[in-house]
Structure 1
């Protein structure tokens, strides 16, 4: 097939917010030669449906997928499956792109029923990697992922560490990284020439996966140091655990406001329990921030210890690394520069979207 021929890409996603919708937004904006249709659930953790739609080109078509939800519910999932089957059957498209675990599972069942072969599934952090579930649930999710793979399509992981988890359970997959828009004419400033304070920042929902309890414990250690400040950009149901007086919770901010806050910070801290490949960290790297990341899946793909920051396994290690930066402030600039260079080299969204574009045409040619 001529790779200059525009395609109609049908995106199916249960969540309509967070990292999943950001990745879809990147694909739609950077592959604008194609027609994009998005069939989405109503879960929107960080803004209204209309706010999310404003981030997309006017040509993007949106349809609501009723009854689609993250949690397993036999009643809701059967209805969502039937609605998905009806929608895919009546909607002309060249490629079916499924996003996240629920759409990935139900979508591949529907594709198998309809004889649909041109199917791509991006996991965005598969359900079985979650750290807040029982061993029974983990085994169930692994079984469901393995079962769905046998129905067809190609599975795409967003990090090497996620791919390793798929391979560990003999689930076939490939890896295409998440990415970010590399800012042109970027000049890394030495912020220590402006202020002597160490501003430590994180962004995202205040939920169990982000482990705000650990963030708070680290911040508490520096409660008596007026030159060390902590900022959490975002909000969420666990904000009550961020009790340390040296933590500022900003609430949800626009993309421009988030970039401005990242621009005033010296260090990006992630205490996550698990990640796919965190877009928030990629944005921090894009703006030249050194990293201090928990040693979890997804995070470990972004930090190169001693070069663009450090990883840690517990609060004591994180505190020791913050003390290192206090005593070696020039390292903030040097490691921040390495973050930026790594981001340019590996996580340029233009390259990422090009890889997906090739995959779209590859599925059409092979099927």
Structure 2
């Protein structure tokens, strides 16, 4: 190993949960043993990346973007190779779909270990078979390169092995984790919704399946007319927003839902903390931070049986994990938890316990440090 410290290059399109994940990792890795720098897109974030001591980390920007663009992607690859040649890291950790593709290819030129954390595989977002086949084919091809998957959940690990084709010894898990939420911050925005409400975080998109959430809300309203949903994060990359608004009008839910286009993470903590329960209708996730935060805030959750969701919610222990095709089951369980304070509180206690044992980054970061160290020393 060249350096006293292990030098790690992080490559990603830094938005959403991927951005949150990296910042939590960088802010908690032992700075005495690890040196980090970040390669990310030119339009994804303007915020500096900081280490455990609050020191700003070196960053390099190139044309990494969400969408496929052969010219921009080729330029990004060439830039990344130059950045890596200059910095000479001991290890590459790619985050996100695009970061994974570019990082895996670039690692080929340097003969150093490479991890990829998909945070939900890109092919899961495809709404047609042709696109899904193309994205999955790229992931399968790159699985033959000298890299390993560092999955964000056991569901993601299983998908890497069973669908993408990675060998079991090339797939590890470091679960997304957060800091404990010991103090509930005050809202920085006006509160325009009633005191009794349920909540969720999710941009209207194929992945989040907010259309199903609206259908569930409409059915709940038939039995509980004052039901109210606060939906956060609808402003960023929300291709289905117009459809969702049409459904709200169709079901006459304008007075039963609050759409928050942009919300600070601290505001999300406040809104989740004061809600009755958290709901997710996602088709798939990596390991969703909004639900991890709900666990840390002692919340019962009602979620779809999807990757990520099922890793966090244990059916009938800290919530309900339900078939997305059974909207009536969602309605029944939401109503049950709203009407049964004792059950809701018991689920919340289990949520907090599960968070402390499995998703508290003050404890789990040591697992990642061990993975990094073992990979570099044994390469």
Moved more, 239-248 or 152-161: 239-248
CA RMSD of aligned residues (A): 2.3
Q: How many residues align?
A: 348
Task: Name the residue aligned to 1:230.
Answer: 229
The 8 Å contact of residues 292 and 311 in structure 1, kept in 2 or not, is answered as yes
CA deviation after TM superposition for structure 1 residue 345, in Å? 1.1
Moved over 4 A (4+): none
Instruction: Answer yes or no: is 1:137 the counterpart of 2:131.
Output: yes
Match of 2:83 among 84, 87, 90: 87
Task: Name the residue aligned to 2:241.
Answer: 239
Task: Name the residue aligned to 1:189.
Answer: none
The 8 Å contact of residues 129 and 274 in structure 1, kept in 2 or not, is answered as yes
State the Cα deviation string for residues 295-322 of structure 1 (Å, max 9, x = none).
Answer: 1111111111111010122322111111
* Counterparts of 1:360 and 1:16, CA distance in 2: 21
Summarize the alignment of residues 1-367 of structure 1 with structure 2, pairs less than 5 Å apart: 5-13=4-12, 15-33=13-31, 34-44=34-44, 49-50=45-46, 52-53=47-48, 57-66=54-63, 68-112=64-108, 114-130=109-125, 132-169=126-163, 170-172=165-167, 173-184=171-182, 198-223=196-221, 225-236=224-235, 237=238, 238-240=240-242, 241-242=244-245, 243=248, 244-245=253-254, 246-313=256-323, 314-367=326-379
The 8 Å contact of residues 8 and 36 in structure 1, kept in 2 or not, is answered as yes
Segments of structure 1 that go 5 or more residues without pairing to the other structure are 187-195
Q: Secondary structure at the match of 2:149?
A: strand
Moved more, 289-298 or 174-183: 174-183
* Counterparts of 1:2 and 1:36, CA distance in 2: 15
Quickly say closer, same or farther: Cα 1:211–1:319, change in 2 above 3 A: same
CA deviation after TM superposition for structure 1 residue 97, in Å? 1.1
CA deviation after TM superposition for structure 1 residue 2, in Å? 12
Quickly say closer, same or farther: Cα 1:124–1:141, change in 2 above 3 A: same
CA deviation after TM superposition for structure 1 residue 70, in Å? 2.4
Quickly say closer, same or farther: Cα 1:185–1:210, change in 2 above 3 A: closer
The 8 Å contact of residues 199 and 228 in structure 1, kept in 2 or not, is answered as yes
* Counterparts of 1:260 and 1:145, CA distance in 2: 38
Query: Structure 2-normalised TM-score?
Result: 0.85
Q: Secondary structure at the match of 2:93?
A: strand
* Counterparts of 1:140 and 1:233, CA distance in 2: 32
Q: Secondary structure at the match of 1:22?
A: helix
Q: Secondary structure at the match of 1:337?
A: helix
CA deviation after TM superposition for structure 1 residue 226, in Å? 4.6
Query: Structure 1-normalised TM-score?
Result: 0.88
CA deviation after TM superposition for structure 1 residue 329, in Å? 2.5
CA deviation after TM superposition for structure 1 residue 54, in Å? 7.0
Q: Secondary structure at the match of 1:209?
A: coil
Task: Name the residue aligned to 1:190.
Answer: none
Quickly say closer, same or farther: Cα 1:197–1:287, change in 2 above 3 A: same
The 8 Å contact of residues 49 and 56 in structure 2, kept in 1 or not, is answered as no
The 8 Å contact of residues 200 and 268 in structure 1, kept in 2 or not, is answered as yes
Q: Secondary structure at the match of 1:208?
A: coil
* Counterparts of 1:30 and 1:298, CA distance in 2: 23
